[in-house]
Amino acid sequence: MSVCLPTVTLEDFRVTADTDAEEVTVRVIEIHPDRTQTTEKQVVMPVRDHAVEWKDSGCLLAMVLERHGKNGNIGYGFITGSCLKTGTVATTYFHDHHNLFVAGDDPEDMLFAVRRIQTLQGGFLTVKNRKVLAELALPVCGILSERGIQDTALDLKAVRESLEELGYRHSSPVMSLGTLGLPVSPALKLTDKGLVDVKRSVIVPLIAGCMRLPGSRFSDVCCLKFAGFVFRLRCHEKTDPDT
């Protein structure tokens, strides 16, 4: 099998933050229209019931699911910039580890896309409202097609056009997406182990900081669990509410 995943449920698309803070600052991958290198952007998002509320942030949820049957890791991140404005994209053509990448604005669509990739045993596809808009099946190791050149090219063209219709703005949308997990290309990339600060060659937590509750005596300790690890972050204490 090319795609070996543990059972994936809607709960896996919930980004949790073990904190009583009302807001957290998260690291976001900002995509640019003329290159595959990204930049790190920090965005403040609200927290409700220990879950990061990201839907009105101008960002899309992004996840990398380890699909080689090794450990079942899931890495979490967010993307913004010259990427999709709506809908979902999923692919196993994802340099260089070629795990399953999915990003979108609706967790139910994202789960639908992941399951469709499982059915295809690899591929590149777009989804909106639980409907496949375009797809290229890549069942050979999750990166190769079994079809002829013409059919493969037409399917890939349909995927690219669908990405553009969903708002992706890039000179090569397929290559842009396919290198969002390349941890040797600056600056912030996403793998099944989490976010990688490429310039420093370190895995960094999704949550960069959080705001303590009004009236709290001490700054919060913020925890984020993903990829099998729990990151504990001491949040900055805000002593002056006007700064």
Query: Could you read off the pLDDT of 149-195 as tens digits, one per residue?
Result: 999 999 999 999 999 999 999 999 999 999 999 999 999 999 999 99
Give the Cα separation of 7 and 115 in Å (integer): 10
Q: What was the pLDDT predicted at 225?
A: 42
What per-residue string of b and e applies to 2-26 under the rule 16 or more CB within 10 Å gives b?
Answer: bbebeebeeebbebbbbbebebbbb
Of 61-75, 104-118, 204-218, the least confident = 204-218
- Best CA proximity match to 226, nearest among 18, 47, 38: 18
Look at the pTM and tell me if it is higher than 0.75.
yes
Q: What was the pLDDT predicted at 239?
A: 36
The whole-number average pLDDT for the span 73-84 is 98
Measure CA 217 to chain center. Answer: 35
Let me know: does 62 contact 11? Beta carbons within 8 Å: no
Of 65-69, 124-128, 228-232, the least confident = 228-232
Q: What was the pLDDT predicted at 236?
A: 39
- Which tens digit of pLDDT belongs to each residue from 29-57? 999 999 999 999 999 999 999 999 999 99
Q: What percent of the chain has pLDDT over 90?
A: 84
| Whether pLDDT at 98 is above 80 | yes
Domain ranges in the chain are: 10-234
141-145, 222-226, 229-233: range with highest mean pLDDT: 141-145
- Best CA proximity match to 121, nearest among 106, 103, 136: 136
Q: What share of the chain is helix, strand, coil (3-state, %, to 5)?
A: 15, 35, 45
Enumerate residues 6+ apart whose C-beta is below 8 A from 20: 213, 216, 220
First to last CA, the chain: 55
Q: What was the pLDDT predicted at 209?
A: 85
| Whether pLDDT at 211 is above 80 | no
Enumerate residues 6+ apart whose C-beta is below 8 A from 43: 25, 26, 28, 57, 58, 59, 78, 80
| Whether pLDDT at 243 is above 50 | no
| Whether pLDDT at 89 is above 90 | yes
Confidence of residue 114 (pLDDT cuts 50, 70, 90): very high
Q: What was the pLDDT predicted at 212?
A: 52
- Which tens digit of pLDDT belongs to each residue from 1-26? 999 999 999 999 999 998 889 999 99
